[in-house]
Amino acid sequence: MKVAIIGGGAAGFFAAIAARHHHQHAQVTIFEKSKKFLSKVKVSGGGRCNVTNGCTSIKQLVTAYPRGGKVLKQAFQVFSTQDTMDWFESRGVALVTQEDNCVFPVSQSSQTIIDCFLQETRKLGIDILLQKAITRIEPIDEKLRLHFKKDDAPALDFDKVIVATGGSPKRTGLAWLEDLQHEIEDPVPSLFTFNMPEESIRSLMGIVIEKTLVSIQGTKLKADGPLLITHWGMSGPAILKLSAFGARLLSERGYEFKVQVNWVNVQNDQMVRESLEIIVGNHTNKILANFRPYGLRERLWLYLLEKCQLSPQKRWGELGKKGINKLINILTNDIYSVKGKTTFKEEFVTCGGISLKSIDTKTMQSKVCKNLYFAGELMDIDGITGGYNFQAAWTTAFIAGKLG
């Protein structure tokens, strides 16, 4: 049996290896259109490669996927996060799970993962061909004929084909699969940071606030977690989570909207009021600049005082009801204008792709083209940061590799 893997990224390599393990006599070939393979693996996690997430509860795990969670709930029963960790460790890759549940190689180098894949493909006799761009798939009887870009290679026939080309930033990049009658969900960016060109908070770049609650004004979108202030606006897990779950809506708004920041991650204003009144009672003569509520960073606290027009030299006992109200509002409902987005590092992730309606998600086989399978981000499946996107790639690739 001849098997073609289209795409030399994370899902492509894992699918190729899975196909050889499931079908020991299969001849497996990976076709990559560029000069490099596993390039996203190389840069992921700041060059450390966040291979998966340490969460082993499938119910909890699927909440990290704005799209595709229902499909993955079943798929993770076939190949889970624990299976991923066992897979790498059984091949000599020692892993470490951080406090935030992100799983990295102990070496803290993505090259360890790349070397593992290369060693495995060599051992299994999998061919890797670079600069082989496929422009068309043609069903011929029970086989699939791959047509290459002019001068790349003559057309080749295969018994099974797994497409793992990753997310496409534009719908036109999926036209060759749409031509086969697959439904396409328009691709839009996910996992991006917020640009705030008109907001002075950018002067606080580099500050991380560990516990925040952020939301998009006029929507039900909310996310919590650490927030990073950057020289262009805001980033960090809370913002990235918000961008992922709001990917399509924010695209429709042209990336112009208002974000509300709760700097203390306390949703009940009355609880915040009580905390501030305790400070007033116990530290009446202390000036605002010298006593920061909720352990806020000094630069942020002084910035917020200035924004709500309270003098840092004012004493807590002098605040009065009006001053307390100002502080409650700035701490729990601080509003910033967003105008544009920036890709999160090199980790471009898309919302959209091949519609799950066109895929038998138990096997990852196309419903409209026999013997054609899909794996990875090419499908309308994506997760937040934390190893979730790689896990979806490993799981779907493992299932596709069964060629069932």
Structural domains in the chain, CATH included, are 2-188+348-400 (3.50.50.60), 192-343 (no CATH)
- End-to-end, the C-alpha distance of the chain in Å comes to 13
Q: What's the pLDDT score for residue 258?
A: 98
- Closest by CA to 192, choosing from 388, 385, 389, is 385
What distance in Å separates the CA atoms of residue 226 and residue 211, rounded to the nearest whole number? 5
| Length of the chain as a residue count | 404
Q: Is 139 exposed, middle or buried (0-12, 13-18, 19+ CB in 10 A)?
A: middle
Q: What's the pLDDT score for residue 346?
A: 53
Cα–Cα distances in angstroms (integers) from residue 152 to residues 29, 32, 176, in the given order: 15, 11, 17
- For 59-77, give one letter per residue: b (16+ CB within 10 A) or e: eebbebbbbbbebbeebbe
What distance in Å separates the CA atoms of residue 47 and residue 397, rounded to the nearest whole number? 22
Rounded to two decimals, the pTM is 0.92
Specify whether the CB–CB gap between 116 and 89 falls below 8 A: no
Q: What's the pLDDT score for residue 270?
A: 97
Specify whether the CB–CB gap between 257 and 338 falls below 8 A: yes
Specify whether the CB–CB gap between 228 and 234 falls below 8 A: yes
Q: What does the pLDDT profile of the chain (404 residues) look like in tens digits?
A: 999 999 999 999 999 999 999 999 999 999 999 999 999 999 998 899 999 999 999 999 999 999 999 999 999 999 999 999 999 999 999 999 999 999 999 999 999 999 999 999 999 999 999 999 999 999 999 999 999 987 667 999 999 999 999 999 899 999 999 999 999 999 999 999 999 999 999 999 999 999 999 999 999 999 999 999 999 999 999 999 999 999 999 999 999 999 999 999 999 999 999 999 999 999 999 999 999 999 999 999 999 999 999 999 999 999 999 999 999 999 999 999 999 998 765 556 889 999 999 999 999 999 999 999 999 999 999 999 999 999 999 999 999 999 99
Q: What's the pLDDT score for residue 347?
A: 54
